[in-house]
Structure 1
Amino acid sequence: MSSNTNQPQVRRRRVFYIPGYDPIHPRRYRELYRTESRAQADVSGYEIAISPKSGEGPYGWHVRSNQDGADVDTDIEVLVWSDIVRESMSNSIPGTYLQLLRTAWIYIGSGVLWQLMRLRKGPVIAALYPVGMLMVQLAVALGTAMVAKALIWPFLGWVSWGPAFLLAYALLRWFRKIDNRLFAYYLMHDYAYSARLNGALPAELKARLAGFTAQIRQALMSDVDEVLVVGHSSGAHLGVSVLADLIRSGGLTEAGPTFSFLTLGQVMPMVSFLPDAEELRTDLQFLSEHPDVTWIDVSAPGDGCAFALCDPVGVTGVATDQKRWPLVLSAAFTQTLSPERWQELRWRFFRLHFQYLCAFDRPGDYDYFRITAGPLTLGQRFYGRAPSKSRLDQPVAKNRSVRL
């Protein structure tokens, strides 16, 4: 098992995709891959097609591509935890406001919010957005209720409080109903889930990650040229934990396929900075030193939902002299998207957070479909690349404890 760049070209590949905090069925990722790969192939001049997956195992699809004169077969599988996400989002409206208070206290009381503000402002604003939006919704509901009470008080007296309360609750229910446009509840549940144990992994998620580890270990024993794990958004730090556990348990062998790790639009500091995220910090440090895996981290300053170009190992303060990874690179949206396309997308913050999985009309070195379906391993594709000059890698976190 090696990440050596002198490997022969890839003919067969297994890809495991770990989504972020997403309650939607994984078929959305298949459809996204189908439409966007076709668009990128038209721009870049290669052939690519997907077909249904055969056999048992996680939800996925098969990709057949011809790039640079080579035929490549790829099986892509989604490591699903959307059921856990849905369960965590089942709180009532009062429960969500309780989550808001608890989560705000965790980040503010621990000082982590001020540390995060020393990094990129975009994701901090994104983290504060659901707090502000939910408070605005509460203020509108209560204000409307007070006006209604004042209007009907002359007729009903103290009884008017009842209809006023029902009106306030109806407004809050309406706000929640249209959250597919506002994303306030969604983001609040996301941040609350990561922070509820001060950065420690919830038991149900830890058990699911153990299953992911077993599935990837099985793939590493198969007859393929590369096993590539892709972690997007919150899935990036889950991938770190999965890979660290797999390597510690002896999941890599010299005779096995090349092992690669790609993180996209990561938000790791939101978790790794928290007081009880000791396990994640330990995994970050361990994985950053390991010679038998290639770890590339891609983000873009135009993605306001990610800690763009922040080396998660460096800013967390767990880098050692043996640190090798990750190689931090920019997807450079303002350069890889045409001015027209950039203007179309620049204010669609959540869509931009998924741009890493989509087509670019002015593609540069980063091309998701060349990485996942092309003839080069991840290490070969970025061999010799220097990290982005704009990366942040100076320690910022105050909580830096790791397990010895």
Structure 2
Amino acid sequence: MRLDQLEQSKLGTKAVRLFQRRVFYVPGYDPFPPRRYRELYRKEAAEQAAVSGYDIVLLPQAGAGPGWRVEADIGGKAQAEIEVLVWSDLVQQSMAQGILATYAQLLRTAWVYIGSGALFRLMRLRKGPMIAALYPILFLLGQAVLAAVVAWGVGVGVGGISHWSVGAVAGLAAGYAVLRGFRALDHRIFVYYLMHDYAFTAAGGGAYPAALAARMAEFGAKVRAALAADVDEVLVVGHSSGAHLAVSVLADLIRGGLPQPCPALGVLSLGHVVPMVSFLPAAGRLRGDLAYLSQCQEVTWVDVTAPGDGCAFALCDPVAVSGVAPAGQRWPLVISAAFTQTLSPERWRALRWRFFRLHFQYLCAFDRPGDYDYFKITAGPLTLARRFAGRAPSASRIVTPLNRYRSLS
């Protein structure tokens, strides 16, 4: 073969090389195993492909981690290995609380947010997440009042025809049965789930629990190993509470020095609740990580929320509102998923009052997709940096620094 033919052959081989990506998904406070996210991705990717006219196939994970592999043709062919960074076992442990222990959590958590003054500043930021935060408190108190009324009624009734001590025991049993009944319905009303979520965040006053900090170090080691592989992009996706975990993992990783050469590195935060943590007095590590990552040139950070998501701090720049934006802030690029525009009127009407489902819409298909498309980002042939190059932040983003606590560590 002549030299020019050999060079052409090499170029041809290079031209058909598929775009390769490693994706690390950090879920929020969720007790469910990774297969839940695999099945969600499978279902929603198929729906988005039908709407947008591209091909996407899910295959078993090539590596040992919990996840899946994607092959797609979305204006160009690409392959992605998606791994879920698991902390559901820690969530399950934190949720293993009895009824009385949950009420004790309510009192401690309320004191952390009220006593620190964080609650009142958070209310000035966004009302939706505050309604979500007050929801479990009000409903738990309402359940307690109803249980007390039932206990009193049964106690008086039974005591009237028997000894008062028998009535007291019967009343207590009836009241506790009411509380147990509400607990059994929690898979539908999410009162205990949300209470455990906020209690987990508030337990250390905003500091990461030791077990979670150790797990995050394990996450960082996995991402570092991927950066040394022959891929085009490493993308870390954090959803809900997983968004601030992703920020801290990436900040630690970059501080430690990246391998050279290094593929493109991106972080995509979705539906973040960062102020619920960063506004607490002991959240110095998170505030330091926010400030550090916001000026890193080694990463592209895109933050996506939507005003229609009542559980997220929509369009709040997590760095700026936390009061730690440095003079050289570059990130994040704050954009809106604009549910009222990217979902058809029929689809929006079906979802608008399903608050928890809307909080997961970032991971789902849009029937009127805009420039945010989860499947293009995770399975398409463009890096996060190229896809959003030149994109201006949403004009309605909130950057007012409302945090009382601004110490960094």
Task: Please classify the TM superposition score into its range, dividing by the shorter chain length.
Answer: over 0.9
Q: Which residue of 1 is the match for residue 268 of structure 2?
A: 262
**Residue 71 of structure 2 aligns to a residue in which SS?**
strand
Residue type of the partner of 1:213? G
**Residue 334 of structure 2 aligns to a residue in which SS?**
strand
Give the conservation status (yes or no) of the 8 Å contact 2:267–2:302.
yes
Q: Which residue of 2 is the match for residue 196 of structure 1?
A: 203
Equivalent in 293, 314, 319 of residue 320 of structure 2: 314
TM-superposition CA deviations, 1:119-175 (whole Å, max 9, x none)? 110000000000001011111111111111121221123220001101111111111
Q: Which residue of 1 is the match for residue 385 of structure 2?
A: 379
Deviation of 1:385 after TM superposition, in Å, equals: 0.7
Matched, 1:22 2:20: no
Give the conservation status (yes or no) of the 8 Å contact 1:9–1:375.
no
Deviation of 1:204 after TM superposition, in Å, equals: 0.4
Matched, 1:106 2:107: no
Matched, 1:32 2:50: no
Q: Which residue of 2 is the match for residue 5 of structure 1?
A: none
Q: Which residue of 2 is the match for residue 4 of structure 1?
A: none
Q: Which residue of 1 is the match for residue 160 of structure 2?
A: 154
Q: Which residue of 2 is the match for residue 332 of structure 1?
A: 338
Q: Which residue of 2 is the match for residue 172 of structure 1?
A: 179
**Residue 163 of structure 2 aligns to a residue in which SS?**
helix
Deviation of 1:249 after TM superposition, in Å, equals: 1.0
Deviation of 1:256 after TM superposition, in Å, equals: 1.2
Matched, 1:13 2:24: no
Residue type of the partner of 1:49? V
Higher-Rg member (1/2): 2
Counterpart CA distance in 1 for 2:314 and 2:264 is 27
* Segments of 4+ moved more than 2 angstroms: none
Deviation of 1:9 after TM superposition, in Å, equals: 9.7
Counterpart CA distance in 2 for 1:316 and 1:54 is 40
Counterpart CA distance in 2 for 1:197 and 1:273 is 13
Residue type of the partner of 2:57? A
Counterpart CA distance in 2 for 1:254 and 1:273 is 36
Deviation of 1:254 after TM superposition, in Å, equals: 4.3
RMSD, aligned CA: 1.1
Matched, 1:233 2:229: no
Equivalent in 357, 360, 366 of residue 363 of structure 2: 357
Give the conservation status (yes or no) of the 8 Å contact 1:9–1:376.
no
**Residue 12 of structure 1 aligns to a residue in which SS?**
strand
TM-superposition CA deviations, 1:282-333 (whole Å, max 9, x none)? 0000000101100000000000000000000000000011110000000000
Matched, 1:392 2:375: no
Deviation of 1:55 after TM superposition, in Å, equals: 2.8
Counterpart CA distance in 2 for 1:253 and 1:336 is 38
Q: Which residue of 2 is the match for residue 305 of structure 1?
A: 311
TM-score by length of 2: 0.95
TM-superposition CA deviations, 1:53-106 (whole Å, max 9, x none)? 1232x20000000111x2101000000000000000011111000000000000
Residue type of the partner of 1:17? Y
Counterpart CA distance in 2 for 1:220 and 1:214 is 10
Residue type of the partner of 2:254? I
Q: Which runs of 5+ in 1 are unaligned?
A: 1-7
Q: Which residue of 1 is the match for residue 66 of structure 2?
A: 59
- Percent identity, aligned pairs only, is 61
Q: Which has the higher contact order (CA 8 A, sep 6+)?
A: 1
Counterpart CA distance in 2 for 1:256 and 1:71 is 22
TM-superposition CA deviations, 1:178-201 (whole Å, max 9, x none)? 100110000000000011010001
Residue type of the partner of 1:193? F
Q: Which residue of 1 is the match for residue 250 of structure 2?
A: 243
Counterpart CA distance in 1 for 2:295 and 2:175 is 54
Structure 1 residues 9 and 292, CA gap change in structure 2 (3 angstroms): farther
Q: Which runs of 5+ in 2 are unaligned?
A: 1-15
**Residue 263 of structure 1 aligns to a residue in which SS?**
strand
Q: Which residue of 2 is the match for residue 215 of structure 1?
A: 222
Structure 1 residues 71 and 145, CA gap change in structure 2 (3 angstroms): same
> What is the number of residues matched between the two proteins?
393
Equivalent in 360, 372, 383 of residue 366 of structure 1: 372
Matched, 1:342 2:352: no
Deviation of 1:350 after TM superposition, in Å, equals: 0.1
Counterpart CA distance in 2 for 1:368 and 1:236 is 15
Counterpart CA distance in 1 for 2:385 and 2:20 is 16
Residue type of the partner of 2:237? V
Which residues of 2 match residues 132-143 of structure 1 at below 5 A?
A: 132-143=138-149
**Residue 289 of structure 1 aligns to a residue in which SS?**
coil
Counterpart CA distance in 2 for 1:299 and 1:27 is 24
Structure 1 residues 353 and 333, CA gap change in structure 2 (3 angstroms): same
Matched, 1:93 2:99: yes
Q: Which moved more, 1:9-18 or 1:205-214?
A: 9-18
Matched, 1:44 2:52: yes
Structure 1 residues 135 and 389, CA gap change in structure 2 (3 angstroms): same
Deviation of 1:10 after TM superposition, in Å, equals: 6.8
TM-score by length of 1: 0.96
Give the conservation status (yes or no) of the 8 Å contact 1:59–1:78.
yes
Give the conservation status (yes or no) of the 8 Å contact 1:299–1:331.
yes
Give the conservation status (yes or no) of the 8 Å contact 1:10–1:377.
no
